[in-house]
Amino acid sequence: WSVYMKEAIPHDKALIESWSKDMDGILIFAGLFSAIITAFIIESYNGLMPDPNEPTIALLQQIAQHLGGSTSENQTSTTTVFTPTSSSLRVNAFWFLSLCLALTCALAATLVQQWARNYLQAIQRRPAPYVQARIRAYLYEGMVKFKMSAVVEGIPALLHASVFFFFAGLVDFLYQINRQIAWVTISIVTACGTLYILITILPVFHRQSPFRTPLSELVWVFLR
């Protein structure tokens, strides 16, 4: 049992350290990215609400018409129901979804770090090697059974999806403001998206390729 644990502990520590470092990077990126998305949402969500100054403007128009001696027919103003534009709905849907995914990734990263610490602590708190070995085998089998590695690898995929939704909202937002800037942004986003797709499918045809994304394995399994 001592020999078994001598080989298993370094393997487990290397695995847990790798997961922890990956989750640290995700936490940093998700935190910064969420702050950026929030700044854009503050600017865009006003399009979902009516202008608070509209009632005041309508009242002033009625007063002006009354003072100008307008007839009662002209004084009658129709009350319009505010309806957000389709562009505003799309932009806010993209950005709120992007923010939710980024925050979900941050929460998942903290949970993975907690699970990893609990795994090592549950093994190392037992002094006897044979007890450590049995606990380690039991817990490691549980990680394999419940596909812990797949969960860890799926978190970056959610973060990538969050970035894609942000870019979709950004393009739509800019297209309604200035189409020249929007087309420049579209060209950059298209180039980045094309590169991402190439990196995703490259390992399918060249397994030695070091370039891959969280979707590469899924594409490989689907096309195999």
Beta-carbon contacts of residue 60 (< 8 Å; ≥ 6 apart)? none
- Cα angle at 65 between 60 and 68, to 5 degrees? 125
What is residue 224's predicted lDDT score, i.e. its pLDDT? 67
What is residue 193's predicted lDDT score, i.e. its pLDDT? 93
Burial of 92 (0-12, 13-18, 19+ CB in 10 A): buried
Burial of 67 (0-12, 13-18, 19+ CB in 10 A): exposed
pLDDT along the chain (224 residues), means of 10: 81 91 95 95 82 61 64 49 84 96 96 92 83 88 90 92 96 92 95 93 85 82 70
| Spans of all domains in the chain | 24-121+149-177
Q: How far is CA 177 from CA 165, 168, 171, 181, in A?
A: 19, 15, 10, 9
**Reported pTM:** 0.81
Alpha helices in the chain (DSSP H): 2-44, 54-67, 72-75, 86-124, 129-145, 148-177, 179-205, 216-223
